[in-house]
Structure 1
Amino acid sequence: MKVLLVASYPGVSGASKSLITLAEGLKNRGLEVDVLLPGKGQIEGILVEKNINYFVIKHYPWVTNIADANSYKVKLKWFVKKLIIRFNEFRLSRLINEYKYDVIHINALTSDQGANIALKKNIKLVWHVREFLEEGILKTFYNPTKSYKKVNLADAVIGVSDSISEYYSSNIPGIQRIYNGIDVTETTDVKDREKSGTAKLLFINRLVPGKGLEDVLKAAEILKKEKVDFSLNIYGNGSKEYLSKLRRCIDSNNLDENIKFKGFTKDISFAWENADIGIVSSNKEAFGRVTVEGMLYKTFIVGANSGGTKEIIKDQYGMLYNVGSPESLANKLKLIINNKAKREETVKKAYIYAKINFSEDKYINNVLKIYNKILIKSKGF
C-alpha cells in the first residue's frame, strides 16, 4: 500500500508530531509512505533524521482568522493565493500520477492540499480533524459551505477525540474518533526526582493566544502575591509581538525571577523530568498531546476544563480548572502544590491510564484498519 500524508504546517506542532508518528509506524508495518509539505520548515529536519521521504509543494491554508473573515483585503489575498494553489496542483497531480498512491491522507482540517486530485482520480481520501477551528484556534473557512461539502466527500474522516467528533457532528456526520498515539522513553519515578522547596511548574506548547498562556501568567501573579514558592519554565515558539506582550506582563508584575522563557526544545524529556506540575491552559484543545506527554513523563497535570483536556483528565488523572479563569487555575495550583501525596498517587494512575489508551501501536493500527476498510470497500468485497 502506498500512502501520501499531507502536512498542513511545515513547522513542529502537535499535529506534525502525530503525522511523523503515523509515517514512521506505517513504514515499520511495510507500507510505502511519503509526506507532502506546504512549505519549508523545521519538520524537514525530523523527516530526514527518520529517513521519511518528503516533497515540498507550496500551498496555503483554506482558513483565515475569524477577525479578518470579512476583510476585503484578506479576500483579495485569498483570491491570489488560490491562483498559486491552482498552478501548483499541476505539479502535485504529476507527482501523484508518478507514485500511484492508494491513499491520500490530509493531516488537519486547515488544509485541503491534495483533496481535489484525490477526488478527481478516485484515490482514497482520508481527512484528519485535529482542531476546533472557531473556538480553539480562532479560525474559520473562507467558504464554510463549500469546505464542509468537500470534507464530506472523503472516504473517511478521523477526529482526534470524542469532543472533536461531537463538535463537528452536524457538519461532518461521518466523523469517527481515533485517539493520537504517544510513546516516550522510560522516565524517572516522581519520588526519585530531585526535590526542592520550590514548586516547579511547566508550560510547553506553541506560544499563541489560543493556548491560554496569559491566564497562566495572571495565575502566577496571584501565586506570587500569596507568597507561594514556585518557578515556571515556558517552552515553545511564538511571534515576536506576542512574546513582547507576555514579557511586558511578566515585568510589570515582578515575575521575572519566577518565570523563564526557554524557547523551542527537541528534548522534551528534560523539560518534563524537571517539573512537578504541567499546565495545559488551551481554550479548547482538540486532543491534548501535551496532557498525555505529561502523564507518560509522570508529571501531574492541571488542565483547562474543556475539549480534549477535560476528556483525558476526567478530574481523575490530574486536576481541572475553569477555562479562562486565572483565579481558578491559581487555586488548583495551590491545592496540588500543598498536597505531594495526592500528586504522587494521581501521577501513578495517570501513567497507567495513558500507557493503555494512547499508545502509538493502538493509534497506527486503528488508522491502518480505516485504510484497509476503504480499500476493500472500493473493490466490492
Structure 2
Amino acid sequence: MRVLFISHEDADFGAPKAMFELILNLKNNYDVEPIVLLHSDDNIKKLCDKVEIENYVVGHRNCISKKNRSIKGYIHFCLKKIVYNLSRIIALHRIKKNIDMKSIDIIHTNVSIIDLGIDLHKIYGIPNILHLREPGTIINEYKFCRKRYIELINKNCICNIAISNAIKEQWIENGIRESNIKVIYDGVNIPKMPITKFRYTDKKVHIVMCGSISKQKGQHQLIEAVRLLPINYKNLLKIHFIGKGDKKYINKIKSNIVSYKLNDIFIFEGYKKNISEILPYFDIGVSCSKFEPFGRVTVEYMLAKLCVIASNTGASPEIIDDNQNGFLYRYNNYKDLAQKIRYVIDNKNLKINIGNLARKKVIDNFSMDIHSRNIYRLYERILNEGVYNETRI
C-alpha cells in the first residue's frame, strides 16, 4: 500500500511531529510504503532522510490568511493568493515530475488548511483523507484562498479524521458531513522501560506548563491563580513555563509576576527538545488552553505520571476523567484553578495515585500503536469498499 502524506509548512509544531511518528509506525509495522510531500527542507525532511523514507520538497503553501478588513489586510490577502497560486502550480509540476501517481493508493493530508490533496484527487482520482487537527472555527476566523472550501472538502475528501469529538462537532457545525468524519485520537510513543519518577532536591512542589506561551494557552490564568493562594502555599511552589511564544504576551505576564511579587516562583525555561525526559521531575502538569483540539501535552503529562490540572474545554474532558486520573477546572476561573492546586498539594498520596491512573489511561487509549492500527484499518476499509460512511459502522 503506497500512501502519499502531505505535510504542513510549520515543521516545528505538533502536527508534523504527530504525522512523522504515525508514518514511522505504519512503515515499520504494516504494509505501508510512505511517500512524504514537504513544503521545504525542514526538520521533517531531516527525519525522513535519516530513516530512508521517500520524500520530496514541492513548496506547497497553506490556503488561509488571517481576516483583516483594513486596506493593508486586503493587500496582504491579495499577495497571499498570488504566492499561494504560484506555489500550487509549482507543487503540482514537481509531483508530476517525481512521482508515479498511478502507484499511489491513498492520499493523506495532515492538516485541514492544506488543500494540495484536493487538487491531486481531482486530477488523479485517488482517495484523499483529510486530517482535521485545527478547530472548525478557523472557517470563520480566516479567509481562504479558495471559495466554498467546505464544499471542496465534502466533494473531494473520502474521509476526514477528527482528532477528538470536540473537533468533530466544530467541523460538523461548519458544514462537513457527519457521515464523512471519523474520530481517531492521536497517539504517543510509550517507552518500553517503566517510568521512573525523579525529585528536585529543594522539596518544593514543582508545576510545569508546556507549549507555546500565548493568550490562547493561558499562562496568565496560572499566574492569577497562584496570586490567590495563601502565602504558605505560595512558598511551596516552583512553576516552570517551558516553551517560546508571543513576545508581547511574555513581557506582559512577566510584568504581572513582578508586580504580584511572585518572582521566586515562576521560571521561564524556554524551548526544550527533550521534554519527555524532563517531565518525570515534575509533580503537577497544567493546561489552561482556551481550546485543545486533542491535548498532546496533556497526554504526555499523564504518561509521565504527573497529576494533571486542565481547563474543561476542547478535548480535555475526553482525555481526563475528572477526579479519577486528573482534574478539570472551569476555564478562566482563577479561583477554581487555585482551589484545585491547593487540593493536590494537600493530598500527597492522592497525587501519586492520580498519576498512576493517568499513565494507565494513556497506555490503554492513546498509544501510537493504537493510533496507527486505527489509521491502517481505515485505509483498508477505504481501499476495500471504495467509499467511507461513518454511519455504516
CA contact (8 A) 2:293 2:314 kept: yes
User: Structure 1 residues 227, 318: CA separation in 2 closer, same or farther (over 3 Å shift)?
Assistant: closer
CA contact (8 A) 2:187 2:369 kept: yes
Alignment of 1:280 with 2:287, yes or no, is yes
| Equivalent position of 1:166 in the other structure | 169
| Equivalent position of 2:79 in the other structure | 80
CA contact (8 A) 1:133 1:139 kept: no
| Cα deviations by residue, 1:315-352 (Å, 9 ceiling, x for unpaired) | 02100000112221111111111111111111111211
Residue pairs, 1:264-343, within 5 angstroms: 264-315=271-322, 316-343=324-351
Residue pairs, 1:36-47, within 5 angstroms: 36-47=37-48
Q: C-alpha separation between the residues in 2 aligned to 1:337 and 1:43?
A: 40
Q: C-alpha separation between the residues in 1 aligned to 2:81 and 2:225?
A: 43
| Equivalent position of 2:12 in the other structure | 12
Q: Say which of 122, 125, 137 aligns to 2:128.
A: 125
5+ residue gaps, structure 2, are 389-393
Q: C-alpha separation between the residues in 2 aligned to 1:46 and 1:220?
A: 40
Q: C-alpha separation between the residues in 1 aligned to 2:287 and 2:83?
A: 38
Q: Say which of 167, 177, 187 aligns to 1:181.
A: 187
| Cα deviations by residue, 1:44-94 (Å, 9 ceiling, x for unpaired) | 4444444444333334433344xx343443233222222222222233223
Report SS of the residue matched to 2:128.
strand
Q: C-alpha separation between the residues in 1 aligned to 2:233 and 2:345?
A: 13
| Cα deviations by residue, 1:175-209 (Å, 9 ceiling, x for unpaired) | 1100111123235345x645653110001112232
| Equivalent position of 1:89 in the other structure | 88
User: Structure 1 residues 368, 159: CA separation in 2 closer, same or farther (over 3 Å shift)?
Assistant: same
| Equivalent position of 1:140 in the other structure | 142
Report SS of the residue matched to 1:33.
strand
CA contact (8 A) 2:59 2:90 kept: no
Most deviating of 139-148 and 82-91: 139-148
Report SS of the residue matched to 1:306.
coil
Q: C-alpha separation between the residues in 2 aligned to 1:187 and 1:249?
A: 40
The one-letter amino acid paired with 1:25 is N
Most deviating of 161-170 and 181-190: 181-190
TM-score (norm 1): 0.89
User: Structure 1 residues 377, 364: CA separation in 2 closer, same or farther (over 3 Å shift)?
Assistant: same
The one-letter amino acid paired with 1:31 is V
TM-score (norm 2): 0.87
Q: C-alpha separation between the residues in 2 aligned to 1:202 and 1:50?
A: 32
The one-letter amino acid paired with 1:310 is P
CA contact (8 A) 2:206 2:283 kept: yes
CA contact (8 A) 1:158 1:178 kept: yes
Deviation at 1:26, TM superposition (A): 1.9
Most deviating of 69-78 and 337-346: 69-78
The one-letter amino acid paired with 2:58 is I
| Equivalent position of 1:216 in the other structure | 222
Q: C-alpha separation between the residues in 1 aligned to 2:115 and 2:80?
A: 13
Q: Say which of 365, 373, 376 aligns to 2:381.
A: 373
Deviation at 1:17, TM superposition (A): 1.9
Report SS of the residue matched to 1:307.
coil
Let me know the Cα RMSD of the aligned residues.
2.6
Deviation at 1:302, TM superposition (A): 0.4
User: Structure 1 residues 242, 60: CA separation in 2 closer, same or farther (over 3 Å shift)?
Assistant: farther
Q: C-alpha separation between the residues in 2 aligned to 1:267 and 1:140?
A: 33
Deviation at 1:262, TM superposition (A): 1.4
Alignment of 1:344 with 2:352, yes or no, is yes
Deviation at 1:18, TM superposition (A): 1.0
| Cα deviations by residue, 1:10-45 (Å, 9 ceiling, x for unpaired) | 332222221111111122124221322334544444
User: Structure 1 residues 38, 225: CA separation in 2 closer, same or farther (over 3 Å shift)?
Assistant: farther
Most deviating of 40-49 and 147-156: 40-49
Q: C-alpha separation between the residues in 1 aligned to 2:209 and 2:194?
A: 19
Q: Say which of 358, 362, 368 aligns to 1:360.
A: 368
| Cα deviations by residue, 1:183-239 (Å, 9 ceiling, x for unpaired) | 23235345x645653110001112232111121222232237564210111111213
